[in-house]
Amino acid sequence: MRVQNILWWFSFTFIAITLQSYVAGVDFLIPGFIVLLQERSIKQFLWVTGIFLILQEGMGTMAFGSVLLWYFSAVALFILGKWLFEVQSLAFILLLSIALSATRYAILVLFANLQDLYINESRLFDYSVYQALLMPFLWNIASFTRRGIRHEVEV
C-alpha cells in the first residue's frame, strides 16, 4: 500500500504546515520524524527527511544549519535512548521531547550568535516549552493514525 503511505505523509505534512502557520515557534514536523526513526525504513527515512529539511529551512528566517543540526541531534538522541528504553513507549517519547527541546534551545542560541541575529531568549524558552509539551501529544496522534500503514512499511 505505497499510495496509502504517500498519502499519509502528504496529509501529515499539509496539517503540520497549517498548524505551524497558527502556532509560532513550534516544529510540527518533528513528531513525524520520530515516527520515521521508529519505523526503520531507510528509503522512506531519506525521502521524507529530505523534504522536511527543505521545508523547514525554506520557511525559516535563519540561515542554513540549525534545522539540519537539530534533526541530526534527534537521530543521535534516539539512538542513545534506544539502548535504555523501549522506543515505542510514552516514557521514552516524553524524555526525548524534553531533551530535544533543550537541544533546540541551545542550537538556536548558538546559531543566532553565529549569524549575528537578535534573538529573544525568553520567548525562545517559551517556544521550547511548547515544543516539549506538544510533541508527545502529536507523536501519539501520528503513531496512532499510522498503525495500519506502519505494518505495510515494515513488511
Partner 1 sequence: MSVRRLIVLIVFCFLLFLGIYTWNARTGKWDALGANVGLEVSSLVLRAVTFVHDTISEAWNRYIYLVDVEAENEVLKKEIADLKLSVAKFSESSHELQRMRRLLHFKNPASWQSIGARVFAWQLGSNDFLESLVISKGFNNGAKVATPLITPDGLVGRVYKAGPFTAIALLLTDPGSSIAVFTSENRVPAIVQGAGINEYLNVSFVKQNVTVSVGEILITSGVDLSYPKGIPVGRVVSVEHGADAMLKIKAEPLVSFENVEEVLLLQNPYEEILPQGSPVYSPRESQFLIPTDKTLEVPEPQPEMDLSNTLEQIDLLNQDILTSPNIIEGNEGNEGIDGDDIPEEQALLHRQNVPNITGLSLVLHAIALPLPTKIKVSLS
* Rounded CA separation 6/11 (Å): 9
Q: For partner 1, give the closer residue by CB, 60 or 148.
A: 60
Q: Does 42 bind partner 1 (CB under 8 A)?
A: no
Q: Considering only residues 54 through 93, tell me which ones interact with partner 1, judged by CB under 8 A.
A: 54-69, 72, 76, 79
- For residue 98, give Cα distances in angstroms to 58, 102, 133, 134: 25, 6, 8, 11
Q: Which residue has the cell 501529544?
A: 137
Is residue 109 a contact partner of residue 136, using CB atoms and an 8 Å limit? no
Q: How many CB atoms lie within 10 A of CB 64?
A: 12
Between 6 and 35, how does the x/- string for binding to partner 1 read (CB under 8 A)? -------xx--xx-xxx-xxxxx-x-----
Q: For partner 1, give the closer residue by CB, 68 or 150.
A: 68
Residues lying near partner 1 in the complex (CB under 8 A): 13-14, 17-18, 20-22, 24-28, 30, 54-69, 72, 76, 79, 104, 108, 112, 116-120, 123-124, 127, 131
